[in-house]
Amino acid sequence: MVQTDISQLAAECADWRQILRNYRDEFHSCEKALTETCKQSLTKDHLTQVEHFQNQFDIQLRNIHDLKQTIKTHERKAQQESAGDDVFSEHEHLLNEFLGLEGTLQELRDEFRNFINNTTC
């Protein structure tokens, strides 16, 4: 039973890391799209938004990296130790952290899409 629990935790961790990798790849593509958008003639407001997105992509890419590393460490710890309450508690905490970050990433993605749609000629 404990092995099944550990396997389930490991599978969830792998899923979370894959989702975060997908966001990382998507935001790198968004950075490229932002660079292309900068080649257009932009208003002062648009330039302010460009700076906002550059900053947000940088921040969120770091957040993605940090959470991926934390999840990886947690997964290793869970596999090395017996699945005690502390491992499950940490897993639940990471789930909440993952869901919070995912919500932020989705908001940023939607905000960026709206910006690109409004600035594309």
pLDDT of amino acid 95: 96
Whether residue 22 contacts residue 30, with contact meaning beta carbons closer than 8 Å, is answered with: no
> How far apart (Å, rounded) are the C-alpha atoms in residues 116 and 99?
26
Whether pTM exceeds 0.85? yes
Radius of gyration of the chain (CA): 18
pLDDT digits (tens, 9 = 90+) for 48-97: 999 999 999 999 999 999 999 999 999 888 877 665 668 888 999 999 99
Q: How many CB atoms lie within 10 A of CB 91?
A: 21
